[in-house]
Chains A and B, each alone.
Chain A
Amino acid sequence: MRDGQAMSRETLINILLAAALLALPFVAIAMEEPFYITLATRMAILALAAVGLNIALGLGGLISFGHAAFFGIGGYVAGIFASHAFNMEPMFSAPFEFSGSDQMPVIWLAAMLVSVFVAIPIGAISLRTSGVYFIMITLAFAQMIYYFAISWPAYGGEDGLSIITRNGFPGVNTANPLSFFLLCYGVLAVALLMFWLIQNSRFGAALQAGRQNEQRLAAVGIAPFRIRLVAFAISAAITGLAGALFADLNRFVSPSMLSWHMSGELIVLIILGGTARLFGPVAGAVLFVLFEFALGGITEHWQFFLGLILLGVVLFARGGLIGLVAGKARHG
């Protein structure tokens, strides 16, 4: 029930999560462990990518196994723009000359636009199917882009592409890890606000209604396809934006950002945190990076243990971390 205790408890947990993530880099500075700032930034960026996927997967019930495509496209936009800006070679000269950019606002906008541009044809084809076929078609498209990136030598092919200096943002020294974290955190906050607005809008209600029963939705005069396509495109844009930030965090982009492992990781984040929950992706990303860091320090086979944890979540805590702490999920 929305008005019951569960909701206020979820809100409390959301606030705690947001505060904890924000506090982490400051703790890191106090402990003189700057590496932890990078961990926090990684959490914020992965959470952002999963917020994007959560629109399609959580609200729309569209299990996209190809969101790495958008994550990687965002990354490559950042990498390619930066490399042209660095070399001062024009990317293209018609209809106007454009030689990349090392400014994040330009890169972000381009990452989102290119992601939407790619998501629309992918969505238009794959949304004609559902269930396991949808999963497989999105996967197939993502793998096509993955192999294209591997075989395209102009931007490093399999070796990937380095970003020599982190791209800039007006008024912010992005080379400073804390400033860059705050920038990512701010973007995440805006994306969460957008997710919340969508979830509570009429569009969001129709999207969730379509997840439950598309015939009933059609019977009240709403075409499920169009709504889903829009949701898929918005979802791709946010994940693409996260990809651009991720490339800037690592100052490196490679085809691995496009691979199906990455798509799976994004789904895992959402399941760990809580499907369709506002802060599910944040909880999932925090847990994931913590596991990766803690377990990864003990054994290189840490993903085996992640698998066990995931199994536990699916069997015993289907609402993910948020569901476990805040009560029954609304998702059904």
Chain B
Amino acid sequence: MSLLEISGLESFYGASQALFGVNLRVAEGEVVALMGRNGMGKTTTIGSVIGLVRPRNGAIRLSGKDVAGMQPHRIARLGVGLVPEGRRCFPNLTVHENLVAAARPGVWTLARINELFPRLEERRDQYANTLSGGEQQMLAVSRALMTNPKLLILDEATEGLAPVIRQDIWAAIRRLKAEGQSILVVDKTLSELLPVADRCFVLEKGRTVFSGRPNELTADLQDRYLGV
């Protein structure tokens, strides 16, 4: 059984349709890349999974349970940890408060987070809005991990970060993968994303147009669906 299985998903913003049939599957322990140009529905797909966008048609199954249309906090409690686009930490809570507010019991504890991102331990009592972009991203990832999710979703987690910080984030993702964490990643840097991914899905105009192994995503296909 897949951890996450999306089939025929259609979502709307008011009257305008954003998704026209998205299919996607994340198996236990897999890292799955969700790709596509801007405006093709990646964030909407993620929003539908976590319940922030209400899907109109299709199915979203989490460990076999249909979660389409459930309230976001219930879906999160079933084991989805979201690292939203643009980081979105709680700006006026300290690093420590951001982490403990989200915490649910499991293998991820404060001690392990501090080991993963030692930088955060140094910033423990600083407000999130005083952190650098990279540190905020580390905090956003950590906050999601503190909920001990079965599935971690990273939406553009390395966007707009300095190269050296991006390396830190990718290193953390590789480490999470090595530990067997299931991850759904949205990212535009193919050179870093493809080596980590076990499987890729490409969206175009709200539809899944490609799914397969990273090595099946030929230069031709990349140019057609992802090139600018």
Listed in ascending order, the chain A residues whose CB lies under 8 Å from chain B are: 1-3, 202, 205-206, 208-209, 212-213, 215-224, 330-332
Contact between A221 and B101 (Cβ–Cβ < 8 Å)? Answer: no
A207 to B, closest residue via Cβ: B101
Contact between A222 and B93 (Cβ–Cβ < 8 Å)? Answer: no
A197 to chain B, nearest CB (A): 14
Contact between A205 and B93 (Cβ–Cβ < 8 Å)? Answer: yes
Contact between B88 and A221 (Cβ–Cβ < 8 Å)? Answer: no
In the bound complex, how far is the Cα of B94 from the Cα of A332, in angstroms?
Answer: 13
Q: A221-B73, A221-B104 are in contact. Are A212 and B126 (CB under 8 A)?
A: no
Contact residues in B for A202 (Cβ distance below 8 Å): 100-101, 103
Contact between A213 and B76 (Cβ–Cβ < 8 Å)? Answer: no
In the bound complex, how far is the Cα of B101 from the Cα of A216, in angstroms?
Answer: 12
Q: Is B117 an interface residue (CB 8 A)?
A: no
B17 to chain A, nearest CB (A): 22
Q: Is B210 an interface residue (CB 8 A)?
A: no
Identify B90's interface contact among A2, A209, A221, CB under 8 A: A209
Contact between A330 and B125 (Cβ–Cβ < 8 Å)? Answer: no
Contact residues in A for B93 (Cβ distance below 8 Å): 205, 208-209, 212
Q: A205-B93, A212-B92, A213-B88 are in contact. Are A220 and B147 (CB under 8 A)?
A: yes
Contact between B76 and A216 (Cβ–Cβ < 8 Å)? Answer: no
Q: A205-B101, A212-B92, A220-B144 are in contact. Are A1 and B127 (CB under 8 A)?
A: yes
Chief secondary structure at chain B's binding surface:
mixed
Contact between B84 and A216 (Cβ–Cβ < 8 Å)? Answer: yes
Q: A205-B97, A216-B84, A216-B90 are in contact. Are A222 and B127 (CB under 8 A)?
A: no
Contact between A208 and B92 (Cβ–Cβ < 8 Å)? Answer: yes
Q: Which of B88-124 contact A (CB under 8 A)?
A: 88, 90-94, 97-98, 100-104
Q: A205-B93, A331-B92 are in contact. Are A218 and B76 (CB under 8 A)?
A: yes
Contact between A219 and B82 (Cβ–Cβ < 8 Å)? Answer: yes
A228 to chain B, nearest CB (A): 13
Identify A218's interface contact among B73, B97, B104, CB under 8 A: B73
Contact residues in A for B103 (Cβ distance below 8 Å): 202
Contact residues in A for B125 (Cβ distance below 8 Å): 1-3
Identify B72's interface contact among A1, A212, A215, A332, CB under 8 A: A215
Contact between B50 and A208 (Cβ–Cβ < 8 Å)? Answer: no
A53 to chain B, nearest CB (A): 20
Contact between B84 and A212 (Cβ–Cβ < 8 Å)? Answer: no
* Most chain B CB neighbours (cut-off 10 Å) among A208, A220, A332: A220
Contact between A218 and B92 (Cβ–Cβ < 8 Å)? Answer: no
Contact between B73 and A223 (Cβ–Cβ < 8 Å)? Answer: yes
Other than the given A1-B130, A205-B101, A219-B82, 4 more pairs (CB < 8 A) read: A202-B103, A206-B101, A218-B76, A224-B73
In the bound complex, how far is the Cα of B80 from the Cα of A75, in angstroms?
Answer: 47
Contact between B84 and A1 (Cβ–Cβ < 8 Å)? Answer: no
Contact residues in B for A222 (Cβ distance below 8 Å): 73, 76, 101-102
Contact between B92 and A220 (Cβ–Cβ < 8 Å)? Answer: no
Listed in ascending order, the chain B residues whose CB lies under 8 Å from chain A are: 50-52, 71-74, 76-77, 81-82, 84, 88, 90-94, 97-98, 100-104, 125-127, 130, 143-144, 147
Identify A216's interface contact among B81, B88, B126, B147, CB under 8 A: B88
| 23 pairs from A and B in contact (CB 8 Å cutoff) | A1-B127, A1-B130, A2-B125, A3-B126, A202-B100, A208-B90, A209-B90, A212-B90, A212-B93, A215-B52, A216-B88, A216-B90, A218-B52, A219-B73, A220-B101, A220-B102, A220-B144, A220-B147, A221-B77, A221-B102, A221-B104, A222-B76, A223-B71
Identify A219's interface contact among B52, B97, B100, B104, CB under 8 A: B52
B106 to chain A, nearest CB (A): 12
B14 to chain A, nearest CB (A): 17
In the bound complex, how far is the Cα of B125 from the Cα of A1, in angstroms?
Answer: 8
In the bound complex, how far is the Cα of B73 from the Cα of A209, in angstroms?
Answer: 14
Contact residues in B for A330 (Cβ distance below 8 Å): 92, 127
A280 to chain B, nearest CB (A): 15
Contact residues in A for B71 (Cβ distance below 8 Å): 218, 223
In the bound complex, how far is the Cα of B125 from the Cα of A2, in angstroms?
Answer: 7
In the bound complex, how far is the Cα of B101 from the Cα of A209, in angstroms?
Answer: 8
Contact residues in B for A219 (Cβ distance below 8 Å): 50, 52, 72-73, 76, 82, 84
In the bound complex, how far is the Cα of B91 from the Cα of A41, in angstroms?
Answer: 38
A314 to chain B, nearest CB (A): 19
Contact residues in B for A224 (Cβ distance below 8 Å): 73
In the bound complex, how far is the Cα of B127 from the Cα of A219, in angstroms?
Answer: 20
B81 to A, closest residue via Cβ: A220
Identify A221's interface contact among B76, B84, B91, B127, CB under 8 A: B76
In the bound complex, how far is the Cα of B72 from the Cα of A205, in angstroms?
Answer: 19
